[in-house]
Amino acid sequence: MNDAAPNAHSAAPARRLGDNAPLRLAEGGLIDRSRTLAFTFDGQRYLGHPGDTLASALIANGVRLVGRSFKYHRPRGILSAGPEEPNALVELRSGARREPNSRATTIELYDGLVAASQNRWPSLKYDLLSINGLAGPIIGAGFYYKTFMWPAAWWEKVYEPLIRRAAGLGRAAGVPDPDTYDKANLHCDVLVVGAGPAGLMAALTAGRAGARVVLCEDDFRLGGRLLLDRREIDGRSALNWVAATEAELAAMPEVRILRRTSVVATYDHGTYAAVERVNDHVAEPPSHEPRQRLWRIVATRCVVAAGATERPLVFPGNDRPGVMLAGAVRAYVNRFAAIPGRRAVVFATNDDAARTVDDLAHCGVDVVAVVDARPQASAVMADATQRASARHISGGAVTRVHGRLGVEAVDIRAANGATARVACDLVCVSGGWSPNVHLASHLGGRPEWDATLAAFVARNLPERMDLAGAAAGDLALADAFTQGHRAGSAAAEACGFSAASAPIPLLDPESTATSPLWRVTGTRGKAFVDFQNDVTTGDLELAHREGFRSVEHMKRYTTLGMATDQGKTSNVNGLALMAELTQTSIPATGTTTFRPPYLPVAIGTLAGHHRGKEFRPTRLAPTHTWAKEQGAIFVETGLWLRAQWYPTPGEKDWLESVDREVRAVRSAVGICDVSTLGKIDVQGPGAAAFLDFLYTNTMSTLAIGRARYGLMLREDGFVMDDGTVSRLGPEHYVVTTTTANAAGVMAHMEHAQQWLRPGLDVTLASVSEQWAQLSVAGPRSRDVLRAVVDPAHDISDAAFPYLAVAEVSAMGGIPARLFRISYSGERAYEIAVPAGYGDALVRALMDAGRAHGIVPYGTETLGVLRIEKGHVAGNEISGQTTARDLGLGRMLSRKKDFIGRALAERPALVAAGRPALVGLKPVDRSLRLRAGAHLVAQGAEPTAANDQGYVTSVAHSPTLGHWIGLALLSGGATRHGERVRVWDPVRSGDTLAEVCDPVFYDPAGERLHG
Partner 1 sequence: MRIPCVYCGERGHEEFAYLGDATVQRPDASSATAAEWHDYGYVRDNPSGSHRELWQHVSGCRAWLVVTRDTRTHAILSVEAARDVALSREKAAP
Partner 2 sequence: MCRGAPTGRRLPTVRYSISSLLGQAITGNRGWKPAWRRTEPKPVYDALIVGGGGHGLATAYYLAKEHGMANIAVLEKGWIGSGNIGRNTTLIRSNYLLPGNIPFYEHSMKLWEGLEQDINYNAMVSQRGLLNLYHSDAQRDAFARRGNAMRMHGVDAELLDREEVRAFVPYLDFDNGRFPIQGGLIQRRGGTVRHDAVAWGYARAADRLGVDILEHCEVTGIDVVDGRAVGVQTTRGAIRAKKIGLAAAGNSSRVAALAGLRLPIESHVLQAFVSEGVKPLIDTVVTFGAGHFYISQSDKGGLVFGGDIDGYNSYAWRGNLPMVEDVAECGMALMPMLGRLRVVRSWGGLMDMSMDGSPIIDKTPIDGLYLNCGWCYGGFKATPASGWCFAHTIARDELHAFNAAMRLDRFATGHLIDERGAGNRPNLH
Q: Round to whole Å and give the CA distance between 9 and 6.
A: 8
Contact with partner 2 (CB under 8 A): which of 175, 703, 756, 851? 175
Please, which residue, 762 or 916, has the CB nearer to partner 1? Answer: 762
> Rounded to the nearest whole angstrom, what is the least distance from the CB of residue 608 to partner 2 in the complex?
7
Q: Round to whole Å and give the CA distance between 750 and 10.
A: 70
| Residues 735 and 724 sit within 8 Å (Cβ to Cβ) | yes
> 758 touches which of partner 2, partner 1, none (CB within 5 to 8 A by kind)?
partner 1
Residue 287, SS3?
Answer: coil
**Backbone dihedral angles phi then psi of residue 60, each to the nearest 5 degrees:** -60, -30
> Rounded to the nearest whole angstrom, what is the least distance from the CB of residue 897 to partner 1 in the complex?
4
Stretch 102-121 residues interacting with partner 2 (CB under 8 A): none
Please, which residue, 607 or 927, has the CB nearer to partner 1? Answer: 607
- The DSSP bridge pattern shows strands 113-116 and 37-41 to be parallel
Q: Round to whole Å and give the CA distance between 119 and 91.
A: 10
> Rounded to the nearest whole angstrom, what is the least distance from the CB of residue 760 to partner 1 in the complex?
11
| Residues 33 and 338 sit within 8 Å (Cβ to Cβ) | no
> Rounded to the nearest whole angstrom, what is the least distance from the CB of residue 501 to partner 2 in the complex?
36
> 463 touches which of partner 1, partner 2, none (CB within 5 to 8 A by kind)?
partner 1
DSSP 7-29: TTGGGPPSS-B-SSSTTBBSS-S
> 754 touches which of partner 1, partner 2, none (CB within 5 to 8 A by kind)?
partner 1
Stretch 693-732 residues interacting with partner 2 (CB under 8 A): 714-718
> 247 touches which of partner 1, partner 2, none (CB within 5 to 8 A by kind)?
none
**What is the 3 state secondary structure string of 371-420?**
EECCCCCCHHHHHHHHHCCCEEEECCEEEEEECCCCCCEEEEECCCCCEE
**What is the 3 state secondary structure string of 548-580?**
CCCHHHHHHHHCCCCCCCCCCCCHHHHHHHHHH
**Backbone dihedral angles phi then psi of residue 678, each to the nearest 5 degrees:** -70, 140
Q: Round to whole Å and give the CA distance between 44 and 118.
A: 15
Please, which residue, 387 or 553, has the CB nearer to partner 2? Answer: 553
Contact with partner 2 (CB under 8 A): which of 173, 476, 937, 940? 173
> 138 touches which of partner 1, partner 2, none (CB within 5 to 8 A by kind)?
partner 2
Please, which residue, 296 or 387, has the CB nearer to partner 1? Answer: 296
A 10 A CB-CB count for 927 gives 14
Please, which residue, 459 or 850, has the CB nearer to partner 1? Answer: 459
613 binds partner 2 (CB under 8 A): yes
> Rounded to the nearest whole angstrom, what is the least distance from the CB of residue 590 to partner 1 in the complex?
20
Spatial CA neighbour of 991 closest among 937, 922, 895, 926 = 922
Please, which residue, 300 or 569, has the CB nearer to partner 1? Answer: 300
Stretch 178-197 residues interacting with partner 2 (CB under 8 A): 179, 181, 183
Contact range with partner 2 by CB under 8 A, out of 355-363, 386-394, 471-479, 542-550: 542-550
Residue 441, SS3?
Answer: helix
> 814 touches which of partner 2, partner 1, none (CB within 5 to 8 A by kind)?
none
Spatial CA neighbour of 877 closest among 725, 696, 671, 619 = 696
Amino acid of residue 794: D
Contact with partner 2 (CB under 8 A): which of 35, 125, 421, 610? 610
Please, which residue, 5 or 298, has the CB nearer to partner 1? Answer: 298
Contact with partner 2 (CB under 8 A): which of 64, 68, 73, 98? 98
Q: What mask, x for binding partner 2 by CB under 8 A, covers residues 624 to 643?
A: -----------xxx------
Q: Tell me the CA distances in angstroms from 652 to 632, 634, 648, 657, 658, one per residue in order.
A: 15, 17, 9, 8, 11
> Rounded to the nearest whole angstrom, what is the least distance from the CB of residue 706 to partner 2 in the complex?
31
Stretch 250-289 residues interacting with partner 2 (CB under 8 A): 265, 267-268, 271, 273
Cis, peptide link before residue 597, omega less than 30° from 0: yes
Contact with partner 2 (CB under 8 A): which of 100, 197, 505, 516? 100
Stretch 879-908 residues interacting with partner 2 (CB under 8 A): 879-880, 903, 906-908
Spatial CA neighbour of 980 closest among 944, 943, 948, 952 = 948
Burial (CB count within 10 angstroms: exposed 0-12, middle 13-18, buried 19+), residue 102: buried
Q: Round to whole Å and give the CA distance between 536 and 157.
A: 30
Q: Which residues bind partner 1 (CB under 8 A)?
A: 267-271, 296, 298, 443-444, 463, 715-716, 743, 747, 750-751, 753-756, 758-759, 897, 901-903, 905-906
> Rounded to the nearest whole angstrom, what is the least distance from the CB of residue 366 to partner 2 in the complex?
38
Q: Tell me the CA distances in angstroms from 738 to 741, 776, 870, one per residue in order.
A: 5, 18, 16
Contact range with partner 2 by CB under 8 A, out of 418-426, 756-764, 916-924, 940-948: 940-948
156 binds partner 2 (CB under 8 A): yes
Spatial CA neighbour of 354 closest among 444, 362, 664, 435 = 362
> 751 touches which of partner 2, partner 1, none (CB within 5 to 8 A by kind)?
partner 1
Q: Round to whole Å and give the CA distance between 527 and 431.
A: 14
Q: What mask, x for binding partner 2 by CB under 8 A, covers residues 944 to 983?
A: x-xx--x--------------------------------x
Contact with partner 2 (CB under 8 A): which of 133, 210, 600, 1010? 600
> 254 touches which of partner 2, partner 1, none (CB within 5 to 8 A by kind)?
none
Q: Tell me the CA distances in angstroms from 938 to 530, 949, 981, 992, one per residue in order.
A: 66, 13, 5, 7
Please, which residue, 458 or 980, has the CB nearer to partner 1? Answer: 458
> Rounded to the nearest whole angstrom, what is the least distance from the CB of residue 27 to partner 2 in the complex?
37
Q: Round to whole Å and give the CA distance between 352 and 362.
A: 16
Please, which residue, 458 or 821, has the CB nearer to partner 1? Answer: 458
Residue 756, SS3?
Answer: helix
> 157 touches which of partner 1, partner 2, none (CB within 5 to 8 A by kind)?
none
Please, which residue, 407 or 689, has the CB nearer to partner 1? Answer: 689
| Residues 52 and 60 sit within 8 Å (Cβ to Cβ) | yes
| Residues 682 and 734 sit within 8 Å (Cβ to Cβ) | yes
Q: Round to whole Å and give the CA distance between 335 and 242.
A: 14
> Rounded to the nearest whole angstrom, what is the least distance from the CB of residue 256 to partner 2 in the complex?
20
Question: Residues touching partner 2: how many (CB under 8 A)?
Answer: 118
> Rounded to the nearest whole angstrom, what is the least distance from the CB of residue 413 to partner 2 in the complex?
23
> Rounded to the nearest whole angstrom, what is the least distance from the CB of residue 954 to partner 1 in the complex?
34
> 653 touches which of partner 1, partner 2, none (CB within 5 to 8 A by kind)?
none
Say which DSSP state 351 is in.
Answer: G
> 258 touches which of partner 1, partner 2, none (CB within 5 to 8 A by kind)?
none
> 295 touches which of partner 1, partner 2, none (CB within 5 to 8 A by kind)?
none
444 binds partner 2 (CB under 8 A): yes
Residue 722, SS3?
Answer: strand
> Rounded to the nearest whole angstrom, what is the least distance from the CB of residue 612 to partner 2 in the complex?
4
> 901 touches which of partner 2, partner 1, none (CB within 5 to 8 A by kind)?
partner 1
> Rounded to the nearest whole angstrom, what is the least distance from the CB of residue 992 to partner 2 in the complex?
16
Please, which residue, 267 or 802, has the CB nearer to partner 1? Answer: 267
A 10 A CB-CB count for 486 gives 21
Please, which residue, 30 or 443, has the CB nearer to partner 1? Answer: 443
Burial (CB count within 10 angstroms: exposed 0-12, middle 13-18, buried 19+), residue 920: buried
